[in-house]
Amino acid sequence: MRQRWHSHILFPFRALRIPAVSHWAHTFLHALRIDDTAIATTTPYDLTMSPTYSERFNAADADLTISSSDGVLFKVHRKSLETYSDIFPGTDVPVDNEIVPLSEKASTLDLLFQYMYRQRQPDLSKIDADELAMLAEAAEKYFVYSAMEVCKVYMQSAIPKMPLKVMGYAARHEYESLCEEAAPHTVQAKAADALEYLDARCFASWVGGFGSHDTSTATHRTSSQVLYREHWLQVLYDIHHPPFAPLLHKGGLPECPLWLPFQGGVLQDLGSSLACLQQSASATVDRHRHLLGECVQCKKRADHWVYAIAGKVASIPKFDPTLRVFT
């Protein structure tokens, strides 16, 4: 069992049918490392409200009722939850006929519980990115291993849609390669948005530094060497300011009339996105190279342009969400 406890996740556990916390609830809270004394200040469940039950999880022989954050009740089996999760207590712990509220909404729990029964699993390609992100977090929070890996795969495919959410998710749950993959897609995001989705340490790494496993030289690094985002912004600047040709044109001119249409076509295709720059810069230049005609000087300049961009991108160290360079 991975020892990754999520103290950053708020877990509003409300007292429901009885004022005291049952042994099952206490065991559950202890597994999540949440203080059950917080229950004393929470709002009791309103028994006058007409209950809404899950259509999928409403078994007559259920021995546990769980409430979503939006008030939907799920009648489930403790044995199933115990089998597929490292968090939920099993049938050996008494539940005392209470309703156990979770902080996830009904749509998320409906997906999550499908991974905790012997049945066909949901098709995650049909849910939207935000719902996927909430399911992925819930799977990690409750250690539902049958859902964790497939959620990670779909989160990886969702990088273009929500790179900050994916990077925050990957950093929180120690998926370093996924975090590194998502990082270049986030460099043009607003700092306020990054602060919303990244925890404090990951945000500090994103806005102000990347890590090096060689901490012996960390204190000797300059600010220009530890600004992760600045490296990418410098690449973006360099795209729009290509180097001049090593050879002058006839008459000593630095460029000929063929260059500007070529440069404009390349920049229009590349746009302002840095996400796939390393892979697409060379191919984009080649696609427009015919605009340079037979001009040897401009073709050499185009080659220098591509090499300069590729070199700068390749020199950017991998993103490290743990800010180990400062520890």
In this predicted model, what pLDDT tens digit does every residue of 179-199 receive, in sequence order?
988 988 887 788 888 888 988
For residues 128-148, give the mean pLDDT: 95
Q: Does the residue 255 lie in any domain? A: yes
Q: Does the residue 152 lie in any domain? A: no
pLDDT at 45: 46
**Integer Cα distance of 134 and 124 in angstroms:** 12
Q: Does the residue 294 lie in any domain? A: yes
Least confident of 9-13, 97-101, 278-282, 323-327: 9-13
Residues ≥6 apart with Cβ < 8 Å to 307: none
- The residue among 47, 33, 13 whose CA lies nearest residue 86 is 33
pLDDT at 215: 37
Q: Could you tell me what percent of the chain has a pLDDT over 70?
A: 70
Q: Does the residue 190 lie in any domain? A: no
**Integer Cα distance of 148 and 135 in angstroms:** 9
For residues 62-90, give the mean pLDDT: 90
- The residue among 252, 248, 256, 268 whose CA lies nearest residue 292 is 256
pLDDT at 16: 36
pLDDT at 26: 57
Residues ≥6 apart with Cβ < 8 Å to 228: 183, 187, 205, 206, 207, 208, 209, 210, 316, 317, 319
Confidence of residue 274 (pLDDT cuts 50, 70, 90): low
Q: In terms of pLDDT, which residue wins out, 207 or 296?
A: 296
Average pLDDT value over all residues in the chain: 76
pLDDT at 49: 62
Is the pLDDT at 309 greater than 50? The verdict is yes
For residues 3-12, give the mean pLDDT: 36
Is the pLDDT at 222 greater than 90? The verdict is no
Q: Does the residue 128 lie in any domain? A: no
For residues 293-304, give the mean pLDDT: 89
For residues 112-139, give the mean pLDDT: 95
pLDDT at 89: 76
Say how many domains are in the chain: 1
Least confident of 105-114, 133-142, 156-165, 268-277: 268-277
Is the pLDDT at 152 greater than 90? The verdict is yes
pLDDT at 19: 37
Q: Does the residue 4 lie in any domain? A: no
**pTM of the predicted structure, to 2 decimals:** 0.63
Is the pLDDT at 171 greater than 80? The verdict is yes
Q: Does the residue 263 lie in any domain? A: yes
Q: Does the residue 262 lie in any domain? A: yes
Q: In terms of pLDDT, which residue wins out, 279 or 221?
A: 279
Max Cα–Cα distance, the chain, nearest Å: 93
Query: Which residues span the domain enclosing 262?
Result: 198-327
Is the pLDDT at 285 greater than 90? The verdict is no
